[in-house]
């Protein structure tokens, strides 16, 4: 069984796969101040029902380098299996055609690999996390660039924190485009506004390339615009990053089943 870990700026996801089949996942907060022993206890509790000897491989995607060693050590103590972090030297199968390929975050690599493997190309992937990333894969299955905007939760918090008379509000799809009270008005501007931003950028991408793309969205903040994007022809894939991470893991498992080829 494969244990896959996504270390993000806001959350840490842990998923279990039996070969290519998703089993279950856990989501916890990503906290840079948390010590190794605290992560050990947290992961030990989360995986208490997992047979430790069933874990053959631990593979990590991380965009928070400061947490890498702590989480690797915590997982090794629990499973006695050396975690590997996705990085330079591992095979991904992804053609990256941007100015500096080394700048591309491992989370976006996983999104792209997962999308190509599951949906083919050309494809646009919208990852709604701390930031909203819109990734473009062309007809030749090459990653050719992306657009990055403040995430929907970040935008909402910035608005209510800076405007003293605006209250905190739930990120959910509003009943009407024009709100008749403060809460509905905020939902309209932030939620529908974010959805329209995504749709607008995707429209401009298709206009630039003069052909249609498959459009998929994923990420922890997808819930806020899920209804809106589904109505607009997007496909929702909750575990896209893990799908890609699992594909990359399987590309790098050696013949003995416990080595990673460089």
The residues assigned a catalytic role are 107
Q: Which alpha helices (DSSP H) does 52-192 contain, by range? A: 68-79, 106-119, 152-162, 182-187
Query: Of 151, 186, 152, 150, which is closest to residue 168 (Cα–Cα)?
Result: 186
Q: Report which DSSP code applies to 39.
A: H
Query: Of 42, 51, 36, 38, which is closest to residue 1 (Cα–Cα)?
Result: 51
- Using CA atoms, how far residue 138 sits from 115, 148, 234, 235, in Å, is 12, 18, 17, 18
Characterise 8 by phi-psi region: left (phi > 0), alpha (psi -120 to 50), beta (else).
beta
Cβ(11)–Cβ(27) under 8 Å?
yes
What tokens appear for 3 in the block? 């244990």
Surface-to-core class of residue 4, CB atoms within 10 Å of its CB (0-12 exposed, 13-18 middle, 19+ buried): buried
């Amino acid at each position: 069984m494969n244990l896959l870990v996504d270390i993000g700026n806001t959350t840490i996801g842990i998923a279990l796969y039996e070969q290519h089949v998703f089993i279950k996942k856990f989501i916890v907060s990503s906290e840079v101040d948390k010590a190794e022993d605290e992560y050990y206890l947290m992961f030990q509790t989360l995986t208490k029902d997992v047979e430790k000897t069933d874990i053959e491989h631990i593979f990590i995607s991380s965009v928070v380098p400061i947490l890498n060693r702590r989480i690797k050590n915590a997982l090794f103590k629990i499973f006695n299996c050396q975690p590997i972090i996705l990085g330079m030297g591992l095979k991904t199968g992804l053609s990256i055609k941007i100015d500096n390929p080394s700048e591309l975050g491992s989370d976006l690599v996983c999104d792209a690999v997962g999308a190509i493997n599951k949906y083919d190309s050309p494809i646009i992937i919208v990852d709604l996390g701390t930031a909203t990333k819109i990734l473009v894969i062309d007809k030749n299955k090459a990653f050719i660039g992306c657009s990055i905007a403040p995430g929907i939760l970040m935008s909402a918090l910035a608005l209510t924190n800076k405007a003293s008379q605006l209250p905190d509000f739930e990120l959910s799809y509003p009943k009407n485009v024009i709100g008749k009270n403060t809460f509905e008005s905020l939902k309209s501007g932030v939620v529908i506004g974010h959805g329209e931003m995504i749709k607008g950028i995707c429209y401009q991408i298709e206009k630039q390339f003069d052909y249609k793309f498959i459009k998929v969205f994923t990420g922890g903040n997808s819930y806020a615009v899920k209804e809106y994007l589904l109505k607009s022809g997007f496909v929702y894939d909750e575990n896209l990053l893990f799908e890609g991470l699992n594909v990359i893991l399987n590309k790098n498992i050696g013949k003995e089943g416990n080595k990673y080829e460089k």
